[in-house]
Copies of this chain bind each other. A is one copy, B any other.
Amino acid sequence: MTTAHGGKTAGAEHAPAPVVFFLSDSTGITAETLGNTLLTQFPGQRLERRTIPFITTEEQAREVVAVIDRLAAAGPRPIVFSTAVSQDVRAILSRSSGHFVDLFGAHIAQLEHALHATASGEPGKAHGVGDAIRYQSRMTAVEYAIEHDDGQSIRALGRADLILIAPSRCGKTPTAMYLALQHGILAANFPLIEEDFARRELPEPLRPFIHKCFGLISQPVRLSQVRQERRPGTTYASMAQCSYELRNAEEMYRFNRVPYVNSASMSVEEISATILQRMQL
């Protein structure tokens, strides 16, 4: 039942890297998210990561503890992030030989005090279906994003919460997909091409929806690199063409007062957080 993913195994030539466990009675996503966030504070460390989700019984918890204890006996003491909710499961996990970091227990008492309420003690539901309407809106948004990827379909732009516009390969597609999947936002994306730069107005199909548009630009060198990977040696991928398109796109955004961001060194998560904030979605 131990599954290693999301991390690299230490090379055989080194001493074994400490193993970091993300343990959960649910998907393990919360444990991975905060655990990895904390670990980014220690950039030099070689670590091996293992996520073990769905630990719901005391027997499963004891099996996991046996794995941790074996590792602790043979090498460096593992680090154990846990978001397990059940008191019984937590009690067992906390008695392993690893460094036990209880992401759940450390904060729940404070919240009980703040909310004048008692925690339900039910296994984690944060990444379950939860609010069915909200969940369904995320699934609908994923379909919408696929259908409206790269200007494939301009019908139903009126339904969009957001229309991402940019020259090819500035990050429209993964950003639209992230906003759809994580936030249920109906995100269309629309490519700006050479012909669009003959004038500074937005392309015709976008004009009725100017208030929904958000632009992306990149850096010419970065964009050219990305395009070279896709179509090496083409005009499309040349520095001159990339510079031209980016300069014109930025001018178009400014002229039409479309908010925009330079995505060159940003992740989809960072671009998305910026868009959510700027567009007040």
A interface residues (Cβ-Cβ under 8 A, vs B): 1, 3-6, 18, 26-30, 33-34, 36-45, 51-54, 77, 79, 83, 85, 99, 101, 103-104, 106-108, 110-111, 113-115, 117, 119-122, 124-130, 135, 138-139, 142-143, 146, 149, 171, 173-174, 177-178, 181, 183, 265-270, 272-274, 276-277, 280-281
In contact, B126 and A37 (Cβ under 8 angstroms): yes
In contact, B103 and A5 (Cβ under 8 angstroms): no
Bound form: Cα–Cα A115–B181 in Å: 35
From A83, which residue of chain B is reached at the shortest CB distance? B37
User: A85 — which chain B residues lie within 8 A by C-beta?
Assistant: 41
Given contacts A138-B268, A139-B171, 20 further A-B contacts (CB under 8 A): A5-B280, A6-B183, A26-B270, A26-B273, A27-B273, A29-B269, A34-B34, A40-B124, A41-B121, A42-B117, A45-B117, A53-B274, A53-B277, A103-B107, A127-B270, A128-B266, A129-B265, A129-B267, A139-B174, A181-B181
User: A266 — which chain B residues lie within 8 A by C-beta?
Assistant: 128-129
In contact, A122 and B41 (Cβ under 8 angstroms): yes
User: A269 — which chain B residues lie within 8 A by C-beta?
Assistant: 27, 29, 127-128
User: A130 — which chain B residues lie within 8 A by C-beta?
Assistant: 40, 267
From A1, which residue of chain B is reached at the shortest CB distance? B277
User: Nearest chain B CB to A15's CB is how many angstroms away?
Assistant: 14
From A85, which residue of chain B is reached at the shortest CB distance? B41
**14 CB < 8 A contacts A-B:** A5-B183, A5-B276, A27-B269, A37-B126, A40-B130, A42-B120, A54-B273, A77-B114, A79-B111, A128-B270, A129-B265, A129-B266, A130-B267, A146-B177
From A280, which residue of chain B is reached at the shortest CB distance? B3
Bound form: Cα–Cα A268–B108 in Å: 26
User: Nearest chain B CB to A236's CB is how many angstroms away?
Assistant: 17
In contact, B173 and A107 (Cβ under 8 angstroms): no
Asked whether A177 and B181 contact (CB < 8 A) given A5-B281, A111-B38, A120-B43, the answer is: yes
User: Nearest chain B CB to A14's CB is how many angstroms away?
Assistant: 16
User: A33 — which chain B residues lie within 8 A by C-beta?
Assistant: 29-30, 33-34, 126
In contact, B40 and A126 (Cβ under 8 angstroms): yes
CB contact between A39 and one of B39, B110, B111 (< 8 Å): that residue: B111
User: A36 — which chain B residues lie within 8 A by C-beta?
Assistant: 126
In contact, A104 and B38 (Cβ under 8 angstroms): yes
User: Nearest chain B CB to A181's CB is how many angstroms away?
Assistant: 6
User: A113 — which chain B residues lie within 8 A by C-beta?
Assistant: 99
User: A43 — which chain B residues lie within 8 A by C-beta?
Assistant: 120
